[in-house]
């Protein structure tokens, strides 16, 4: 896979021997690729990513994988708060309010090839391909509800959530019962926590809880599913069961 390497960001530091475990997908929210390159390579901005993918599928390598790029910000996943040290950041030339408000087929094809290469190079689990909104659900929305996660799933790059059999659902419900969890909200928060989300402050804060649920919904549920009262809970039970089976 060929990269454009003539632009390099000065915004990086050492990983301190941390193992790369995650790939984080972002969107730039800028007008075009050149604006994004300028922004990500400007020292004063103190932000960067390892890769940037343009609308025409060109892949810019702005920070070498061995370095810690500054793309995640304040974030959390599976009890880890220094996400930059364990991740590769990929920015997409996309803005919800700009002319570049489509995830082009060329962009997504390049993204798939890049993810596959990174997964092979660093043995990254399918559960480790995340949205920026997964690791920072209270302040970030990217890559947004229109990002084609299903396309990545169809290419076997991220975990596919298989439907549960009746006995598997009973196993999950029995597990919840044994842990004295009766309310759906309690079960939802525990499932999100076990998967990796930051649930530290959502128990007593309904605003943060709703933000977290919206982030999960944007990632894993189709828009037509959002009108169903039980859709998020049902998806989470399915997700948790699949996650526990594919954790390693």
What is the model's pTM?
0.93
Cβ distance 152 to 115 under 8 Å?
yes
Q: What share of the chain is helix, strand, coil (3-state, %, to 5)?
A: 45, 10, 45
- The β-bridge partners of 130 are 24
182 is written with which tokens? 């009766």
Other Cβ atoms within 10 Å of 40 Cβ, number: 27
pLDDT at residue 25 tops 70: yes
Which residue, among 145, 173, 159, has the nearest Cα to 237 in the 3D structure? Answer: 173
pLDDT at residue 184 tops 80: yes
The mean pLDDT of 83-107, rounded to a whole number, is: 98
- Give the pLDDT confidence score for residue 175 in this predicted structure: 87
pLDDT at residue 57 tops 90: yes
The sheet with strand 87-92 has its strands ordered as 59-61, 51-53, 87-92, 22-27, 129-131
Q: Point out the residues that are catalytic.
A: 91
- Give the pLDDT confidence score for residue 229 in this predicted structure: 46
- Domains contained in the chain, CATH given: 12-154 (3.40.80.10), 166-246 (no CATH)
The mean pLDDT of 56-85, rounded to a whole number, is: 98
pLDDT at residue 225 tops 50: no
Note the pLDDT tens digit of each residue in 162-180.
888 888 888 888 988 888 8
Number of H helices, E strands in the chain: 8, 7
Which residue, among 205, 218, 239, 193, has the nearest Cα to 76 in the 3D structure? Answer: 193
Note the pLDDT tens digit of each residue in 26-56.
999 999 999 999 999 999 999 999 999 999 9
- Give the pLDDT confidence score for residue 230 in this predicted structure: 59
Range from 34-38, 159-163, 221-225 that averages highest in pLDDT: 34-38
- Give the pLDDT confidence score for residue 224 in this predicted structure: 42
The mean pLDDT of the chain is: 93
The mean pLDDT of 205-225, rounded to a whole number, is: 84
């Amino acid at each position: 896979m060929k990269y454009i390497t003539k632009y390099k960001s000065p915004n990086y530091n050492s990983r301190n021997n941390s193992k790369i475990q995650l790939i984080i997908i972002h969107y730039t929210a800028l007008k075009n690729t050149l604006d994004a390159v300028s922004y990500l390579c400007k020292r004063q901005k103190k932000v960067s990513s390892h890769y940037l993918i343009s609308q025409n599928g060109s892949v810019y390598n702005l920070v070498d994988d061995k370095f810690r790029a500054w793309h995640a910000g304040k974030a959390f996943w599976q009890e880890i708060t220094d996400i930059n040290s364990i991740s590769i950041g990929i920015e997409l030339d996309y803005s919800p309010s700009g002319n570049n408000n489509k995830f082009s087929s060329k962009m997504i094809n390049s993204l798939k090839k890049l993810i596959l290469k990174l997964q092979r190079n660093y043995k990254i689990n399918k559960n480790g391909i995340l949205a920026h909104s997964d690791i920072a659900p209270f302040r970030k929305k990217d890559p947004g509800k229109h990002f084609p996660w299903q396309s990545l799933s169809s290419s076997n790059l991220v975990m596919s959530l298989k439907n549960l059999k009746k006995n598997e659902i009973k196993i999950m419900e029995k597990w919840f019962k044994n842990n004295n969890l009766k309310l759906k909200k309690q079960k939802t928060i525990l499932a999100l926590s076990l998967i990796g989300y930051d649930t530290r402050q959502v128990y007593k804060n309904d605003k943060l809880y709703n933000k977290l649920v919206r982030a999960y919904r944007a990632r894993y549920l189709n828009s037509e599913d959002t009108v169903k009262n039980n859709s998020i809970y049902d998806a989470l039970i399915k997700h948790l069961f699949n996650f526990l089976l594919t954790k390693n």
